[in-house]
Amino acid sequence: MAMATEHSHMLGILVLLISLLALTKPSMADDIPMNFSRSYFPDGFVFGVSTSAYQIEGEANERGRGPSVWDVFTHESPERIMDGSNGDAGVDFYNTFKADIKRMKLNGIDAYRFSISWSRIIPSLEPFVTIFHWDTPQALEDKYGGFLSSDIVDDFHDYADFLFEKFGDRVKYWMTLNEPWAVTGLAYDEGIHAPGRCSFWVNRQCSAGNSATEPYIVAHHLLLSHAAAVQTFREKYQKIQKGKIGITLFTFWYEPISNKTVDKEAAKTALDFMFGLFMDPITYGQYPRRVQTLVGDRLPTFTDVESQLLRGSYDFVGLQYYTSYYAKANATIDPNHIRYKTDSQVTQTAYDDDGQPIGPQAYSPWLYIYPKGIRHILNYTKDTYNNPVIYITENGVDEYNNKSKTWEQGTNDQHRIDYLKAHMWNVLGSIKDYNVNVKGYFALSFLDKFEWNMGYSSRFGLHYVDYKNNMTRHPKNSATWFCLFLKNWPMGSRCPVNSYNIAYN
């Protein structure tokens, strides 16, 4: 078993190196042409925007919606949100969606990715629907602990079944889970996302939890919930409704901090713990061997039936990329303080050995701008996971919500234009130079919105939302750029994004 484990891990490192070497071959120049537009991409390539229910909807206590874990988390522990805010009002999308969707259409956007709130159940844009975007009903959290219990699998199955039955005639692209890593790592290891559980020594704001075991239990039940939903969709609905189903996974890219073999191994291991923890089971039916070895009996196991259900349980993969880090081997682990974040025995850092950052830092403390990382992870995914169909379902950058700025000042976001352009160029590079099967790209996000533990302090939107003035929308410069990009119009043209006047009704 040890030999098989090491053999598998070395193969993984070879795949990582091949993906990296692909970028050293003659390929698309790094200089982005002035006329770069959607015309450079293959026919049928989908361009969209992404968001989620809790972040934008509002009307949290109305229209028959029950509370989610995020409602309770933000109300009972406002000090755990950077600005003490919550998603009660969101950006009032519940009441303004018709106007906002009209804006999207005028902008030339093809598709809109959104989530349906599990605790709520509720023309010409292709809907990409996320079934679960972190808002576990508080009733299930109170009843059996939410995703800590295997009972969640049947309830999630029933919820997904309901959505397929009611909306499958209109929705052709389903995603079971949004970023299960964030639930696993941020909610149950670090305790900074709802329901805010972790070991007390990790975060003193956590009143309960175990960072050594709960992240893996939750990941396991998330995967089984995904498999149950996919099985039902394929058996009952897919042939009739002609839809497709997948999952959205968030990952960093990891660069070895040096050319040492141990650091190259560390980069692969870091990917296994973040990306492979979910991608391996849904492709091969098992957790990565390196994860199995390092976590040991704290890692749940799949039965043969569960493994079979998981294997190949997607028609496409949604990939969410924002940033990259350096990986450095670190075998020094405190046996009295075991947790998911350190199980990989890898130090993750944004700075190289000379103290230089991997890229410019955005407002979010975790986000460093490294456009080539998206090309690396796409190439790696093709090589490691049998060249799946991929949609980039989130990619974007934020800025600080400076309350002293006017909305006119807040719409000047050249950094976002540069970020989106560079990342889309690298996506195109993976398609053209490495034949990666990428079918679409979704920018995050159309509107500024509630940013989880960052509250409203962070703005990711193409459109500025004036929180102090009726949630009025104002297109940022990036919205104009994206509109011209999508319409293949010369830069400097007048885009409808600057001229519409849409009533909120």
Residue 250 predicted with pLDDT over 90: yes
pLDDT of residue 66: 78
Residue 35 lies in a domain: no
Residue 168 lies in a domain: yes
Q: Do the beta carbons of residue 237 and residue 170 sit within 8 Å?
A: no
Q: Do the beta carbons of residue 392 and residue 438 sit within 8 Å?
A: yes
- The tens digit of pLDDT for each residue in 196-223 reads 999 999 999 999 999 999 999 999 999 9
- The tens digit of pLDDT for each residue in 443-476 reads 998 999 989 889 999 999 999 999 999 999 999 9
- Domain boundaries, position 430: 2-24+40-498
Residue 60 predicted with pLDDT over 90: no
pLDDT of residue 106: 87
- Asked if 76 is an active-site residue, the reply is no
The SS3 assignment for 174 reads strand
- Percent of the chain beyond pLDDT 70? 90
CA dihedral 451, 457, 459, 464 (to 10 degrees): 120
Query: Which tokens sit at 64?
Result: 């028959």
Measured between alpha carbons, how far is 474 from 407 in angstroms, rounded to an integer? 7
Residue 504 predicted with pLDDT over 50: no
CATH code of the domain in which 279 resides: 3.20.20.80
What stretches of 273-315 show up as alpha helix (H) in DSSP?
277-284, 289-295, 304-310
Residue 16 predicted with pLDDT over 80: no
Residue 7 predicted with pLDDT over 80: no
The SS3 assignment for 211 reads coil
pLDDT of residue 9: 52
Residue 504 lies in a domain: no
- The tens digit of pLDDT for each residue in 483-493 reads 999 999 888 88
DSSP β-bridge partners for residue 50:
113
- The tens digit of pLDDT for each residue in 61-92 reads 665 577 888 888 899 999 988 998 888 888 88
pLDDT of residue 122: 37
pLDDT of residue 120: 57
Would you place residue 332 in the very low, low, confident or very high pLDDT band (cuts 50, 70, 90)? confident
Residue 29 lies in a domain: no
Residue 134 predicted with pLDDT over 50: yes
Q: List the Cα angle 428/430/431 in 5-degree steps.
A: 65
Q: Which of 37-51, 83-97, 387-401 has the lowest mean pLDDT?
A: 83-97
pLDDT of residue 28: 63
Closest to 315 measured CA to CA, from 222, 229, 252: 229
Measured between alpha carbons, how far is 327 from 353 in angstroms, rounded to an integer? 11
Q: How many domains does the chain have?
A: 1
- Asked if 141 is an active-site residue, the reply is no
The SS3 assignment for 124 reads coil
Would you place residue 5 in the very low, low, confident or very high pLDDT band (cuts 50, 70, 90)? very low
Measured between alpha carbons, how far is 130 from 80 in angstroms, rounded to an integer? 26
Residue 232 lies in a domain: yes
pLDDT of residue 24: 43
Query: Which is more confident, 109 or 495?
Result: 109
Pick the catalytic residue from 190, 255, 306, 394. Answer: 394
What stretches of 236-286 show up as alpha helix (H) in DSSP?
238-241, 261-271, 277-284
Mean pLDDT of the chain: 90
DSSP β-bridge partners for residue 351:
357
- What is the phi/psi pair of residue 239, to 5°? -65, -35
Strand intervals (E) in 350-498: 390-394, 399-400, 438-443, 458-459, 463-466, 472-475
Pick the catalytic residue from 179, 255, 265, 399. Answer: 179
Helix, strand, coil abundance in the chain, percent, nearest 5? 45, 15, 40
Would you place residue 186 in the very low, low, confident or very high pLDDT band (cuts 50, 70, 90)? very high
Q: Which of 139-148, 318-327, 332-341, 388-397 has the lowest mean pLDDT?
A: 332-341
Residue 389 lies in a domain: yes
